[in-house]
Amino acid sequence: MKTRLTIFGWAALCCAAILVPAPVRAQTDSALLDALVKKGVLSDQEAEDIRADESKDYASTAASKINLSTSIKTITFYGDLRLRYELRDGTTPAGLTGAGGVPSGPGSQDRNAWRYRLRFGFKGDIFDNWFYGVRIATNPYYNRSGNVTFGHSDNAGPFGKGYSLLAVDQVYLGWKPTSDITLEGGQIINPLYTTTLVWDDNLNPTGAAELYDHTFDNGLEVFGTAGEFLISAASGNGITNTITGQAGNPSNFGNTFMFAEQAGIKYKFDDNTFFKAAATMYEYTGTDAANGATVAGDYGSNPLVLNSAGTNSPNYYNGPFVGAAAPFTTNVTGENDLLILETPAEFDFKAWGVPMRVYGDFAYNFDGGDRADDARSAITQGNAAGITVPAGLTTAAFQAEPTVQGVLSSGKSFLDDAAYTVGFEAGQLKKKGDWQTRLYWQSIGYYALDPNLIDADIFNAATNMQGIVLAASYNWTDGITSTVRIAHGNSIHGDLATPNVTQDLTLGQIKTYNLLQADLLWKF
């Protein structure tokens, strides 16, 4: 009888060894052995012999070579690799100022790119309801994509590796004091319910967030989030109008913060049907210059010195209109006069057995009129020395330029201060053979949003742009997905620039825009 029970004990241990992951197996085996001894199935000596044999076997495995801190409860490794081909095409309207101030005809710019993006991270739980996460990504020089373009030279010949560098893009600690409350800080995953209308999904805000989420028995979920995000520290990360130093002491810089307060609901009708909506208010601090004698002075050094006709044409110059750091090829835009309300919503359901989603997002900048006033004042005031126009242009000719006239007349339309998107999605991407399609329209007014945050993948991270996007995806395996995406857009206000971060097309005033993207994504 004792022999049969001993065999039963070994069989139980073998099942535990097969079904339980290695990091947990030692604790499981020990607990099982103690239980078998307590019930008289095994003697104390037999249990010790089994423990000794198990220790010898584990010492010979690769897992035994990995030592984790006793403070780590769980750890999960994850990541993704994306290969992409894309074609972008943009056209500019006629009448731009060419070399020597001579008006030129319409122009265009095309870009073909083969790219990849790699992200790799680990996350998990610490004891007493604490958690952590760290992730690294390629291309530390651009916060809104991580893309590395094949063929990009690093000045050392072909096949450059300069942009293939990995950098930390998420690092955070968090704590759940209750089941409804979460506190976290660091460079965190965006904690807000939002869309790519307002936030590029590659951006991970730095700072702290406090989240509340409670689900009632009737299917109603109520959630709220507060975020305190540091936009620029001290001298500023290129954000041009964080000049808060006192006169005569320009090195005395302050910090720029964005505060976000969100409240929302989710109501679940059944397992396949729910409605979700939220309202978020964004406010900024530290964006005004204490020593700015003129409005133009808030935008950096000599914002309107257009001393190189064509290169710095006002049609290309994205500068004082939204606070760009430099003309033409650089546009880290200013954060003056932004008080934004965002209202994302969606309705998810199933029809003919297919998951579907109708969604939308609307945002409005209540300070858009002031932002437009600052742009107009920058045009009319110029810098302390007055406006310097390009060679070959008179002041009158400069002020007659379409973009200048656009700025002087802008900010009076609702669409200049508003942004919205509406879309439809069908299908899901969970396992092999799954598919998904998406169709949506997007419009971002010139003064509507913080241009440092908007999505760069589709419409070149430009404001004053609107257009339609169609995408189709298919899961070849549980972890490999292909996506084809096409988009067509145009400027909303034809006499205004289309400010952008110039990651791709460097056109400052896009009339029409086309995009083709083909992705192959491996998630692991």
Ranking 77-86, 100-109, 412-421 by mean pLDDT, the lowest is 100-109
Contact predicate 492/450, CB 8 Å: no
User: Which tokens is 311 given?
Assistant: 């290169």
Ranking 33-42, 189-198, 213-222, 468-477 by mean pLDDT, the lowest is 33-42
Position 117 scores a pLDDT of: 94
Could you report the per-residue pLDDT of 286-335, keeping only the tens digit for each? 765 444 434 444 443 333 444 343 444 444 444 444 543 333 333 345 67
CA distances from 217 to 271, 274, 293 (A): 14, 15, 59
Position 387 scores a pLDDT of: 53
Give the distance, in angstroms, between the CA of residue 243 and the centroid of all CA atoms in the same chain: 26
What is 76-523's CATH number? 2.40.160.180
Say which residue, 412 or 197, is predicted with more confidence.
197
Q: Domain ranges in the chain?
A: 2-65, 76-523
Contact predicate 118/138, CB 8 Å: yes
Highest mean pLDDT among 10-19, 310-319, 387-396, 445-454: 445-454
Backbone angles phi, psi at 197, to 5 degrees: -60, -40
- Asked if residue 365 has pLDDT above 50, the reply is yes
- Asked if residue 403 has pLDDT above 50, the reply is yes
396 burial level (CB within 10 Å; 0-12, 13-18, 19+): exposed
Confidence band (pLDDT; 50, 70, 90) for 443?
very high
Position 253 scores a pLDDT of: 52
State the average pLDDT over residues 356-367: 96
Position 94 scores a pLDDT of: 63
- Asked if residue 437 has pLDDT above 80, the reply is yes
> Which is nearest to 119 in space by CA: 89, 83, 80?
80
Contact predicate 362/419, CB 8 Å: yes
State the average pLDDT over residues 203-229: 95
Whole-angstrom Cα distance, residue 310 to residue 193?
A: 42
Confidence band (pLDDT; 50, 70, 90) for 275?
very high
Could you report the per-residue pLDDT of 16-66, keeping only the tens digit for each? 444 444 444 455 567 776 777 777 767 777 777 777 777 666 566 665 667
Percentage of the chain modeled with pLDDT above 70: 67
Position 227 scores a pLDDT of: 97
Average pLDDT of the chain, as a whole number: 77
Say which residue, 37 or 451, is predicted with more confidence.
451
Contact predicate 85/517, CB 8 Å: yes
Contact predicate 392/101, CB 8 Å: yes
Say which residue, 157 or 195, is predicted with more confidence.
195
Confidence band (pLDDT; 50, 70, 90) for 338?
confident
Contact predicate 462/448, CB 8 Å: no
Contact predicate 521/119, CB 8 Å: no
Position 85 scores a pLDDT of: 96
DSSP letter for 436, please: E
Q: How many CA atoms lie within 13 A of 445 on its CB side?
A: 26
Residues with Cβ within 8 Å of residue 41, at least 6 apart in sequence: 5, 6, 8, 9
